[in-house]
Structure 1
Amino acid sequence: MADPQAALLTQVKNIQAKTGLTLAQMHAQIEASGKEKYAEKRSWVMERFGLGHGDANTVVHFIGKPLPDVQVGAAPPAAEGDPLDAIYTGKKAALRPLHDAVMARIAELGDFEIAPKKTYLSLRRNKQFAMVGPATASEVEIGLNCKTLAPHPRLKILAPGGMCQATTRISDASQVDAVLLGWIAAAYQAAA
C-alpha cells in the first residue's frame, strides 16, 4: 500500500515545480481572486496555473490548513520508510533526479495512485498504466501498460500476459520528451 504522506509530499513538490510558486503564494493569489466557493477556487486554480483537477483540488484543500513542508526544486522530506529511499540506493542513488523528472511530467496527466513495490513504483488509475524504477546503475525503466503502442526503436515490446506490454529505458532528462510522454499519456488514457 502506498504511503499517503509520501505521495502527498511528492504531489505538492510537483505542483510547486510546475507553477514555480509555493502553496502559500498560490493561496494569496486565490484570496486576491475574490473566489469564495471551493469549486470556484479549484476551477480558477486550474485555469490560472494550468493544473489538472487533482492538483488544483490539493492546492485548494490546504487553504487555511497547515502546509506541507516542501520547497520548490527540493526533494520532498524523506518520510519514514520512503520507498524511493530503498529503491534508489547505492549506485542507483544518482538516478533519483531522473526518476523525479519523469514523475513530475507524469503528474501533469491528472490523478493517479502510486503503489510502491520493492524495486519500482506502480502507477495506477482503474488499473496499472505504468511502472517507473531503476533498470541499471545508469538507466531508469518505464513500463507501459498499453496495447495500442506502435513499434518504435526506443520501445521493447514484451511477451503477452505480463504486467506491461512494452518498456523503454532512459538515461538522461532530455529523453523525457514528447515521444515518451505520448506513450505514457496513451497508457494513462487506456487505464481510465
Structure 2
Amino acid sequence: MDQAAQKMIDNLEKNTGKSLDQWVATVQKTDLKKHGEIVKFLKSEHSFTHGFANLVAHKALKSDAGSVSDTDELITKQYKGKEHFLPIYEKLREEIKAFGPDVEFAPKNSYVSVKRKKQFAILVPATKSRFEIGINLIGHPADGILEIDTKSNGMCSHRVQFGTDGGISEEMIKWLRQSYENAG
C-alpha cells in the first residue's frame, strides 16, 4: 500500500474513532451496492468528507487497486467493450510517466487515478464512444475543449472529452503536465 493511502487510513481512524474495517462493516450492514450511494450515505449520515467516503466505498466494494491482487484485471474490466480506447490509455500513460519518477497509476473499477503527492488526473473510458480525462487545474479557466468539471464531485476541476475520432493533442499533454507540477 502506498504511503498516501496508509496515511489516509490512519487519519480516518484518528478523525472518526473507528478503523477502516469498522467503517467497511458499517457499510456492509446496509443494502447499498453502488459506489455513489455509499459515498452519499457516509457523507450525509456520518459527516464524512468526500475523500474519506470515497476511500471507504472503494474498500467496501473492493474496487480499488489495493483491494485486488492484479490491477490489470481492473484495466481489462474498464475497457471491456471499449477496447478501441486502450491505445489512447496506453499513449496517455506513456506520456504521463515521462513527467517524472513519482507518477503513480491507481486503477479503480471505472477509471485510473493518476497521482503524484496527490491526484492530478483521472483517465476514464466513459462510454463506447467517449473517453474523458479529468484534470486538476483549480483556478484555470475553461479553454476550448478543456471544460470546467461539474459532475465528478470535486475529484477534478476540469475535463476533456473526445470520441473515437479524437486523439491526444499537445495541448492535453500540456494541461496534464501543469496539473502534475501543481500536485508536487
TM-score (norm. length: structure 2): 0.56
Give the match for residue 11 of structure 2.
none
Q: Distance in 2 between matches of 1:190 and 1:133?
A: 21
Q: Distance in 2 between matches of 1:149 and 1:174?
A: 23
TM-score (norm. length: structure 1): 0.54
8 Å contact from structure 2 (residues 111, 124) kept in 1: yes
8 Å contact from structure 2 (residues 137, 157) kept in 1: yes
Q: Distance in 2 between matches of 1:157 and 1:125?
A: 22
Give the match for residue 49 of structure 2.
none
- Alignment partner for residue 118 of structure 1, among 94, 101, 109? 109
Q: Distance in 2 between matches of 1:105 and 1:138?
A: 22
- Alignment partner for residue 83 of structure 2, among 93, 107, 111? 93
Residues 114-166 of structure 1, C-alpha deviations (whole Å, 9 max, x = no match): 11111000001111000002022122210001214332120120249611000
Give the match for residue 187 of structure 1.
179
* 1:1-192 to 2 correspondences below 5 Å: 80=70, 82=72, 83-90=74-81, 92-111=82-101, 112-159=103-150, 162-171=154-163, 175-192=167-184
Q: Distance in 2 between matches of 1:142 and 1:164?
A: 9
8 Å contact from structure 2 (residues 131, 162) kept in 1: yes
8 Å contact from structure 2 (residues 112, 122) kept in 1: yes
Task: Report how many aligned residue pairs link the two structures.
Answer: 115
Deviation at 1:179, TM superposition (A): 0.7
Q: Distance in 2 between matches of 1:136 and 1:120?
A: 11
Report which stretch shifted further, 116-125 or 167-176: 167-176
Which structure 2 segments of 5+ residues have no match? 3-68
SS at match of 1:96: helix
Which structure 1 segments of 5+ residues have no match? 3-78
Q: Distance in 2 between matches of 1:138 and 1:155?
A: 18
Higher relative contact order (CA 8 A, sep 6+): 1
8 Å contact from structure 1 (residues 155, 166) kept in 2: yes
8 Å contact from structure 1 (residues 98, 172) kept in 2: no
SS at match of 1:138: coil
Runs in 1 of length 4+ with deviation above 4 angstroms? none
Sort the Cα spacing of 1:177 and 1:97 in 2 relative to 1 into closer, same or farther, 3 A.
Answer: same
